[in-house]
Structure 1
Amino acid sequence: MPISKKWVILIPVMAGIAALTALKKSSNPPTQETRQEQAKLVRVINAPSLTVIPTATGHGTVRPNRTWEAVAQVKGKIVEKHPALLKGAIIEAGSLILRIDPADYELAIAQAESDIQATRAQLDELAAKAVNTEKSLAIEQAALALNQKELERKRLLVGKGGISRSDLESQERSLLTQQQSVQAQVNTLNLFPSQKALLKAQLERHMASLATARRSLANTEIHLPFTSRIAEVNVEQDQYVREGEQLVVADDLDKAEIEIQIPITQMSHLIHANRPIDVLNLNPAETLQQIGLSATATLQENGLSASWDARFARLSDTLDPKTRTVGVIVEVDKPYANVLPGSRPPLVKGLFVQVTLAGKARPDSLVVPRSALHDHHLYVVNEQQRLEIREVEVGMLQPGFATITDGLKAGEQVVISDLVPAIQGMLLKPSPDPATQQQLSSTAGGALAL
């Protein structure tokens, strides 16, 4: 390559390098700005001190408070059946629903009454015989006295030679005969008490047979003891039934029961008494008032929404060892009252409902949303608007809130929004959340529970 061509290439390159060097020497170094801390925007509430109503919710199946089974106590053919005796029918208390053929038991009553009359006639006859025998005994005793006087007279005459020895012996034989007659009457009288006792025993047996027959006759009629809804019908007209057969099953309509399972930890918050309770000598009304539980049953299904006032009745007899729950039984009065077709159904057997229990009110409780708890820690905004991760002591956990017994003061700002990452001392920009504050007050006061 010719030398002139090399310079043509090198001269522009060298000029560019020289220009860059001049610019570098003449320019000022970049100024480094101080980095400022950015505040994290968080939602907060002021921890309120409220009157708290502890609640617990469970689900259970409705069942009748009482179920009555009509069992045949006598045998025979069904001769009468209530026309409305069908499964699902509602029949008033005292209605005659079945009648068993009473003919055999009416005959038994007639036979027992006849036996009683015959035995009473025998007792009357025995009493008359006793009176007659006593009179006969008096006559025989008078004759005996005469014979004794005559014997004494003849004994005196024998000594004087007035009568023969054979006449005296004849009188002695007559006296013995009369004594035998008196003894026979006495023996007859002595048998009367045992004969009377035998007849009285027979009379009592016949009266017992009469009572049994009358009871059997009464058992041929089967009446409903209370207004009921028929659950089962196992007999038909003209069917022969035997003793012990189940004929009808009926459910009481006066009360309904619902059993739900509540965790033990929640029950400890609900049941609160001011003094010890003697479980073996409970006064039910006083105990229920002292415990102070109220309840509501709610149905939410397929557009239906209905509720019923319930009453805490008792606890179940066992604790479920697997789920660590205790059975709570509540009662609902008049489950078939105030029915509105299409919107409020009756509280029928088998309906699956939700039951909410509410305990006694606990005033001056410091409350925070349950979602604000982080493993027994709360995020608190301190006076410097910085995050303070504070350990607290939780008193009561409820589905929507928790009470704090130590580590927090009323009015302090508690962070309720998700803070990731949460760094101790980080700068925060708190933003009050009035909706959550209001919802917390309503939930803690039991508005959502009942």
Structure 2
Amino acid sequence: MNQNITTAELEGFEKGFAADPAKRVAQLAVTANGVNKSATDPLVQREDRHQFSIQLEAGKITNQKSSGRCWMFAALNTMRVEIMKKLNLETFELSQNYTLFYDKLEKANYFLESILDTLDEPTDGRLIAHLLSAPLNDGGQWDMLCNLIEKYGVVPKDTMPETACSSSTWEVTGYMTRKLREFACALREGHAAGKTVDQLREQKEAMLSDIYNMLCIALGNPPKTFTFETRDKDKKFIREEGLTGKSFFEKYIGWDMSSYVSLINAPTAGKPYHKTFTVKLLGNIVEGRPVKYLNLPIEDLKAAAIRQMQDGKPVWFGCDVGKCSIREGGIMDLNILRPDALFGTGFGMTKAQRLDYGDSLMTHAMVFQGVNLDESGKPTRWRVENSWGKDSGADGYYVMSDEWFSEYTYQVVVHKDYLTEEQRAELQQAPIELEPWDPMGSLA
């Protein structure tokens, strides 16, 4: 067989294309409208109705705009329900800018500490290249959010509102990333010149001061104390003075964050079910809890999510949102897009194969706010609260088919109360460590 593409092969390809009228029709459609518009099957939308046998009440749709804070928005959207219930509010929103500020600051410190922990690794090695690739990513994991809440609490959105840079993070994140790489260079060169780790940590304090100043300029100064004011559904005015982020969280949300656990579905050979996992060098707060997952069959994730929603509580989850989904109407369904029919070729990898070969991973976090159960109690479709504003999906909501859940949902977070006894016991296992570049270390 030939190693190169020959003229004869090209002629054969051309004749094969010309001999199939369907390919010419597809060409006309795609060149004029693009792939996804041409591949959308409108008949599927009839089946994906925005009607659910279990449907929770939620506040107004939020909008992360041009930022990668979906994991924060999703988590804060689950928490705000507690405040709305306690205070009889129509809607409420927590400050995503406040958590962003401290996440960036803590991630900067985590990155610099990771550099100090790897001073003897080669600069051109895979580990240092991984650390330098995105030291200040917008994304995150549930356990990273727990670390922020436990250390800093939360504040109402009007206490630390959005800024141009929180709504569009790429500029300031880009400049801080440049500084962190510069700092990494200085620390590693200092080590090569014979400086001790204690001396390098003295340098680190000045480095963090620079990052803090950049964050204040871009996001504003985070409040130490604040006055909380709102009005409930009955027009009753509520005011409380002298609150901190931690005291506000404790009084109005009051969750034990350690009781919320991450269940994943990673059906790959190296990740057996009913075992726990963590990811090396993945985190945001050095003294915080590490990321920890319990890997379970997909039906176990569904069952736990349903039990929590049956109790009136929404569910944070992570998925690969870009696969088989459309924004118009908010549909996530394996058949909503038919590129196989359009291109005349199938896309046949399994979920495990997609993970192993880099075709899929968790890219986005959202909130389950409902599910439709058939007469036998089996889920058929899921109600999804997104954070892309009300103009995306159906007034900000998406509908996910149960088959889509199986293929592209990777993580759900539930309270331990909604696990089985066996699952709670499995959580006590020491986690197996995954490499930093493992797909289960992806950030939503």
- TM-score by length of structure 2 reads 0.20
- Relative to total residues, which structure has the larger strand share, 1 or 2? 1
Which one has more relative contact order, counting CA pairs under 8 Å at least 6 apart? Answer: 1
Work out which of the two has the higher radius of gyration on C-alpha atoms and give 1 or 2: 1
Q: TM-score, normalised by structure 1?
A: 0.20
